[in-house]
Amino acid sequence: MDTIQFVTLIKETKIMTKIPSSLLSLTTLLLHVFILPVFFLSFILIYDSQWMTEFLDAGLGTIFNALMLSCILIGAMAISRPVMTAVGKGHRFSWWQYSLWSFLEVIIFSCFAALYMALIYGDYGYFPALAQCLRLSFSTLPYLYIIMALLFALIYPDEEEAAEEDLVRFTDSTGRLKLVIAHDVLLYIEARENYISIHYLEGEKLKEYSLRQTMRGIEDLMTKHGIIRCQRSYFVNPRHVTVLRRDKEGFIQAELDSTNKPVPVSPKYYEQLSKML
């Protein structure tokens, strides 16, 4: 698989390194603050593990202590999640950063839970209680963290980011932004001395925009958006190529779905383009 095909495959499968903005929304914040503690409490009571029961069976008993730990979890989440949302407004979290933050949430909750359990037991000691609270936390909470993250990523994908990624931003030779269009309306690009001519659709109308730029200067941008070189002086959008044919002189040409003008294809790029159709 060549570089251009690999980049196109990555784009089509929408592999994303950033979390969707829905994971930092007010709805998600409230769900984490309330659903995680409810899940934590329910898991302890329903699963009824022997070591959990033995650890929590002090003072007023397992149910009361599980309820108190759930309240501590509400407090930890009520502090952590608003801070995460506030930070997320100025910084888009990657998945590893979100995972690290969630991991630290569990650690902080365990520290406060251990303090409570150490006070309940009296002579049990803080660090033995911390070890048990960490075991308790990581035996219950990660399941819901993963489920909620996946659900929000799948049900509420970041449409704004997807739309932003679909935009092709053309700059001139000085780096000034001159044209922004969606990649799926771009037909082909033709080199003309020190300029390039960008052919695209605006509604049902064919448009042309001349830009002082070189083919080499836009090559990385075209590769990023799956627009491939088909001849030394041409880039073409494979999404609009309907057929490749040879003319009477034996030259290969690409026919497009939105224009009657064929685009020349050199033998060097023919196989690569044909594989993408």
Q: Residue 272 carries which side chain, given as an amino acid letter?
A: Q
Residues 127-152: tens digit of each pLDDT: 999 999 999 999 999 999 998 888 87
Reported confidence tier of residue 240, pLDDT bands at 50, 70, 90? very high
DSSP state string for 183-236? GGGEEEEEEETTEEEEEEEETTEEEEEEES--TGGGHHHHHHTT-EEEETTEEE
Query: What's the confidence (pLDDT) of residue 164?
Result: 58
Residues 15-61: tens digit of each pLDDT: 457 787 778 888 888 889 999 999 999 999 898 788 898 899 887 88
Query: What's the confidence (pLDDT) of residue 274?
Result: 85
- Find the length of the chain: 277
Query: What's the confidence (pLDDT) of residue 238?
Result: 93
Residue 257 has pLDDT above 60, yes or no: yes
pTM: 0.54
Reported confidence tier of residue 14, pLDDT bands at 50, 70, 90? very low
DSSP state string for 171-183? E-TTS-EEEEEEG
Burial-class residue 124 by CB neighbours within 10 Å (0-12, 13-18, 19+): middle
Burial-class residue 258 by CB neighbours within 10 Å (0-12, 13-18, 19+): middle
The domain limits of the chain are: 17-157, 163-275
On average, the pLDDT of the chain sits at 85
- One of 2.40.50.1020, 3.30.565.10, 2.70.170.10, 3.40.50.300 is the CATH number of 163-275, namely 2.40.50.1020
Phi, psi angle pair for 51, to nearest 5°: -70, -35
DSSP 265: E
